[in-house]
Amino acid sequence: MKSSNSSSLEVSEDDANELRIALLQEMEQNSPFSLDEFNEILDKEFSVFKNGDNYSYVKDIRDAFSGSLERSASERILDTIPEHVFWDIKKPQLKEEQRFMNPYNSFRKYHVSSFFDSREYEEYMDRRTRKNNIRDGVSTYRRY
């Protein structure tokens, strides 16, 4: 078979195959590695099942997650947080101040009685800061 380019050497396909075979045999003879040892290593790395083993989905999942199940979830979560995050945690040494729930009447527990009462109080305080006198049935004159 002639090559398509205009080279002066004409090499047949059979000659190219024989040359490849001769090169591989020479490399095998001059190699410091044993072919049997190399095949054993490949079998060990790439073999899915050992002799006599059958595939088991449960065993496969157990083997896959055995490393992560050895430790608790909290330990695994804390491992993801860098150590320097915990360096600034300080415990306060002072006693906690006594604070009353109701700033206007300390004997009353809460200054609001329900969720809606608290929202109405917030709106009232907002209108006080903006000096806006808008309310149902009340004029829109500003308070000065």
Tens of pLDDT, residues 19-71: 989 988 888 888 787 878 888 888 877 777 666 777 788 888 888 888 878 88
State yes or no: pLDDT of 141 exceeds 80. no
Q: Tell me the C-alpha to C-alpha distance, in Å, between residue 128 and each of 84, 102, 132.
A: 46, 19, 7
Taking the C-alpha atoms of residue 21 and residue 29, their distance in angstroms, rounded to an integer, is 12
pLDDT exceeds cutoff 80 at 137:
no
Report d(CA 114, CA 111) in Å as an integer. Answer: 10
CA 13 to chain centre: 54
Report the alpha-carbon distance of residue 12 to residue 112 in Å, rounded.
99
Q: Which residue in 23, 28, 30 sits closest to 38, CA to CA? A: 28
Structure tokens at 57: 């989905």
3-state secondary structure of 138: strand
For residues 13 and 1, the answer to whether their CB atoms sit within 8 Å is: yes
